[in-house]
């Protein structure tokens, strides 16, 4: 399976943020999406998720059975600032999510088993979400997104504000689930992208540009990325 972007364009007044983007992403990989602040990473995700209207272009999945247009259930979008219903407990939120999506297939596990996936204890699962830390809210958002079984998972700076332990837990979780998914991981932290991601893609001058690791050690690869981002800033 591949996720295909064709001729994507988006501009705000005279600022052309996304310039005729063509790109394909393969199943089973985590793609690190890098770009300077304001490069358009969130705009790209919002276009894919149809939170904003694109000016031109299309997205589709390419499978063994041919092309398939993206449906809402094909995509999950994890925001950098988690949005959860703070008047519910973690357990109530998870049960509510499973109940309203009872037309989908889920592993037949007790709720506690789901919480174990993201290292949330039984005591914490019974707390109101308003009392959760930022990292715990992020875990709940990630858990819901995983249970939705999307084909394309969009992650917009999901680990930036997490402590070391939580960030490592989340990275391991993403590595474990990537096989049947296409994961786009937006970040401005280069070392995080190099540690977690299988492929590095720059949003550079309004287009997506793959950066090959071939014949480069880690330091040379980092310099290649930084040089491209510096060039973008001079445009």
Residue 208 φ then ψ, to 5°: -90, 130
Is pLDDT larger for residue 162 or for residue 69? 69
Q: pLDDT at residue 206 above 50?
A: yes
* Measured distance CA(64)–CA(66) in Å, rounded: 6
* Percent of all residues in the chain with a pLDDT value above 90, rounded to a whole number: 51
Q: pLDDT at residue 97 above 60?
A: yes
Mean pLDDT along residues 159-172? 82
The region that residue 115 occupies, defined by phi over 0 for left and psi between -120 and 50 for alpha, beta otherwise, is: alpha
Q: Which of 24-33, 42-51, 90-99, 188-197 has the lowest mean pLDDT?
A: 188-197
Q: pLDDT at residue 235 above 50?
A: no
Instruction: Return the closest-CA partner of residue 197 out of 186, 208, 207.
Output: 186
For the segment 178-198, what is each residue's pLDDT rounded down to a tens digit? 999 999 999 888 888 888 999
Mean pLDDT along residues 132-139? 89
Q: pLDDT at residue 215 above 60?
A: no
CA distances from 82 to 50, 85, 86, 133, 223 (A): 18, 10, 11, 10, 32
* Measured distance CA(225)–CA(202) in Å, rounded: 8
pTM of the model: 0.89
Domains of the chain: 32-51+72-233 (3.40.50.300)
CB atoms within 10 A of CB 39: 23
Q: pLDDT at residue 108 above 60?
A: no
Model confidence at 106, in pLDDT bands (50, 70, 90)?
A: low
Mean pLDDT along residues 199-215? 85
- 68: tokens are 């398939």
Question: So what's the pLDDT on residue 103?
Answer: 59
Please give the sequence-ordered ranges of beta strands (E in DSSP) within 27-165, or none if there are none. Answer: 29-34, 56-63, 66-69, 75-78, 152-156
């Amino acid at each position: 399976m591949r996720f295909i972007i064709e001729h994507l364009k988006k501009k705000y007044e005279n600022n052309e943020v996304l310039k005729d983007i063509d790109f394909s992403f393969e199943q089973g990989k985590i793609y690190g999406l890098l770009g300077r602040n304001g490069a358009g990473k969130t705009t790209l995700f919002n276009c894919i998720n149809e939170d904003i209207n694109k000016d031109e272009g299309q997205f589709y999945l390419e499978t063994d059975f041919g092309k398939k247009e993206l449906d809402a259930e094909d995509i999950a979008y994890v925001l950098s600032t988690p949005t959860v219903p703070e008047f519910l407990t973690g357990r109530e939120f998870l049960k509510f999510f499973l109940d309203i999506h009872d037309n989908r297939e889920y592993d037949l596990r007790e709720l506690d088993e789901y919480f174990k996936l993201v290292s949330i204890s039984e005591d914490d699962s019974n707390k109101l979400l308003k009392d959760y830390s930022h990292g715990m809210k992020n875990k709940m958002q990630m858990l819901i997104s995983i249970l939705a079984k999307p084909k394309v998972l969009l992650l917009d700076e999901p680990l930036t504000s997490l402590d070391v332990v939580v960030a490592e837990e989340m990275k391991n979780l993403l590595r474990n689930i990537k096989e049947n998914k296409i994961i786009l991981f937006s970040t401005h932290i280069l070392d995080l992208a190099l540690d977690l991601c299988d492929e590095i893609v720059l949003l550079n001058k309004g287009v997506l540009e793959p950066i090959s690791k071939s014949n480069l050690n880690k330091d040379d690869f980092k310099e290649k990325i930084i040089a491209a981002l510096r060039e973008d800033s001079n445009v």
